[in-house]
């Protein structure tokens, strides 16, 4: 594994359902949750860190990103996440969130390992 990282921004959708808060990344189909918005964001960061660790250790990061609609330019190691509109078309759960809940969309900085 290469120890270099790529900096990028990921869209994160924050919403509330019943008594829980959620932070969801449609480009990776990852979810964090908690009793508060901060807990949900912290939970998401734990899930994201574990996702990156697991897929990097198992050498499945590129394959998994591609399965989520990411475009990978191998010559310059650029990872391009799918647009929100693509996620809406491909992911029925995200479509439900988008159409049935009030949410806040924000971009968060992320470091992805160059593999």
Asked if the structure places residue 5 within a domain, the reply is: no
Q: What is the pLDDT of residue 2?
A: 45
If one counts the domains in the chain, the total is: 1
Q: What is the pLDDT of residue 88?
A: 95
Q: What is the pLDDT of residue 77?
A: 67
Asked if the structure places residue 64 within a domain, the reply is: no
Q: What is the pLDDT of residue 76?
A: 62
The range of the structural domain enclosing residue 39 comes to 13-57+90-104
Calculate what percentage of the chain has a pLDDT beyond 70: 93
Asked if the structure places residue 41 within a domain, the reply is: yes
Tokens 């899930």 found at: 47
22 or 77, greater pLDDT: 22
What pTM does this model have?
0.88
Asked if the structure places residue 18 within a domain, the reply is: yes
Stretch 29-41: mean pLDDT: 97
Cβ neighbours of residue 93 closer than 8 Å, sequence gap 6 or more: 29
Asked if the structure places residue 99 within a domain, the reply is: yes
Question: In the structure encoding, which two tokens stand for residue 21, read together?
Answer: 């808060």
Binning pLDDT at 50, 70 and 90, where does residue 44 land?
Answer: very high
């Amino acid at each position: 594994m290469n120890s270099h990282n790529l900096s990028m921004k990921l869209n994160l959708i924050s919403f509330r359902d019943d008594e829980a808060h959620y932070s969801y990344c449609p480009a990776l189909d990852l979810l964090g949750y908690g009793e508060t918005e901060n807990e949900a964001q912290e939970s998401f960061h734990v899930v994201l860190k574990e996702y990156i660790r697991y897929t990097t250790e198992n050498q499945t990061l590129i394959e998994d990103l591609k399965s989520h609609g990411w475009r990978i330019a191998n010559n310059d190691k650029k990872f391009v996440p799918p647009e929100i509109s693509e996620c809406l078309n491909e992911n029925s759960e995200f479509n439900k969130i988008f159409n049935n809940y009030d949410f806040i969309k924000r971009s968060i900085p992320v470091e992805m390992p160059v593999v």
